[in-house]
Structure 1
Amino acid sequence: MTPVFDGHNDFLQRLVAAGPNGARLWLQGDGTGHLDLPRMQAGGLVGGFFAIWIPSPSGLTDAGALHAMENPPFALPLPDEIPHNTALPHAFAQAAALLALERTGTLRVVRDAAGLRACLAQGRIAAVMHMEGAEAIRDMDALHLWHAAGLRSLGPVWSRPTRFGHGVPFAHPAGPGIGAGLTPAGCALVAECNALGILLDLSHLNEAGFDDVARLSDAPLVASHSAVHAICESSRNLTDRQLRQIADGGGLVGLNFASSFLRPDGRRQPLEDLGVMIRHLDHLLAILGEDGVALGSDFDGALMPRDLGDAAALPRLIAAMEAHGYGPALIAKIACDNWIGMLERCWTR
Structure 2
Amino acid sequence: MFIDGHLDLAYNAGLGRDLTLDLNTLRERDTVPGQTAGVTFDELRRGGVGLCQGTLFALPQTAEYAGYTNWREARVQAMKQLDQYRRWQDGGWLRLLESGDEIAEHARRYDPASSPLGVVLLMEGADALRDVDDLPFWHAAGVRAIGLSWGRTAYAGGTDAPGPLTERGRELLMGMRELGVAQDLSHLDEEAFFEATELQPKCFASHSNSRAYADGNRHLSDEMALEIGRRGGVIGLVLLGQFLQRGWTPEQSRVELDAVVRHAEHYAELIGWDKIGLGSDLDGGFGNEQTPEGIGSARDLTRLAELWPDKVRRAVMGGNWLRWLALNL
CA contact (8 A) 2:54 2:119 kept: yes
Q: CA deviation at 1:267?
A: 2.6
Residues 282-339 of structure 1: per-residue CA shift (max 9 Å, x gap)? 1011111121111100111133223112211111111233xxxx01x41111110111
Question: 2:264 maps to which residue?
Answer: 281
Q: Which amino acid aligns with 2:157?
A: H
Structure 2 residue 38 is matched with structure 1 residue 34: yes
Report what 1:180 is aligned to. Answer: 163
CA deviations on 1:215-272 (whole Å, 9 max, x unpaired) are 22232x3111000111122331111111111112222111111111101224345633
The TM-score with structure 2 as length reference comes to 0.88
**Conserved in 1, the CA contact under 8 Å of 2:3 and 2:51?**
yes
Amino acid at match of 2:10: L
Which residue of 54, 65, 90 corresponds with 2:77?
A: 90
Deviates more, 1:202-211 or 1:191-200: 191-200
**Counterpart among 221, 224, 227 of residue 206 in structure 2:** 224
Q: Does the aligned pair in 1 maintain the 2:210–2:219 contact within 8 Å?
A: yes
2:220 corresponds to which residue? Answer: 238
Q: Within 5 A, what are the aligned runs for 1:255-274?
A: 255-268=237-250, 271-274=254-257
In 2, Cα distance between equivalents of 1:265 and 1:41: 33
Q: 1:252 aligns with which of 231, 234, 240?
A: 234
> What's the secondary structure of 1:6's corresponding residue?
strand
Structure 2 counterpart of 1:41, one-letter code: R
Q: Pick which of 83-92 and 27-36 moved more.
A: 27-36
Q: Would you identify which runs of 4 or more consecutive aligned residues in structure 1 move more than 6 Å?
A: none
- 1:189 counterpart = 2:191: no
Distance in 2 of aligned mates of 1:116 and 1:110: 6
Spell out the pairing of 1:289-328 with structure 2 (5 A cutoff). Answer: 289-301=272-284, 302=286, 303-321=290-308, 326-327=309-310
1:16 alignment partner AA? G
* The one of 99, 104, 108 aligned to 2:91: 104
- Is residue 152 of structure 2 the alignment partner of residue 164 of structure 1? no
Contact 1:82 1:135 in 2 (8 A): no
Among 12, 15, 18, which residue is 1:14 paired with?
12
Secondary structure of 1:179's counterpart equals: strand
Q: Structure 1 residues 266, 202: CA separation in 2 closer, same or farther (over 3 Å shift)?
A: farther
**Could you tell me the percent identity over the aligned residues?**
27
CA RMSD of aligned residues (A): 2.1
Q: Is the 8 A contact 2:184 2:204 kept in 1?
A: yes
Post-superposition offset of 1:81: 7.6
Letter in 1 for 2:20: W
Partner in structure 2 of residue 68 of structure 1: none
**Alignment partner, residue 174 of structure 1:** none
3-state SS, counterpart of residue 47 of structure 1: strand
Structure 2 CA distance for partners of 1:80 and 1:50, relative to 1, 3 Å: closer
SS of the residue 1:226 aligns to: coil
Q: Which amino acid aligns with 1:8?
A: H
Question: How many pairs are equivalent?
Answer: 309
Look up the equivalent residue of 1:15 and give its one-letter code: A
Q: Which amino acid aligns with 1:54?
A: A
Displacement of 1:27 in angstroms is: 5.2
- Cα deviation for residue 342 of structure 1 reads 1.0
| Aligned mates of 2:68, 2:271 — CA distance in 1 | 33
1:163-204 CA deviation, whole Å, 9 max, x = no partner? 1111121xxxxxxxx633111111111111112221101110
Q: CA deviation at 1:31?
A: 3.3
2: CA distance between counterparts of 1:281 and 1:246?
14
Q: Where does the alignment leave 5 or more consecutive residues of structure 2 unmatched?
A: 28-36
Distance 1:266 1:212 in 2: 32
SS, match of residue 291 in structure 1: helix
Please say if residues 232 and 266 of structure 1, whose CA atoms lie closer than 8 Å, have aligned partners that are also in contact.
no
Task: Give the TM-score normalised by the residue count of structure 1.
Answer: 0.83
Contact kept in structure 1, 2:125 and 2:147, CA below 8 Å:
yes
2:32 maps to what in 1? Answer: none
Residue aligning to 1:117: 104
1:57 deviates by 3.4
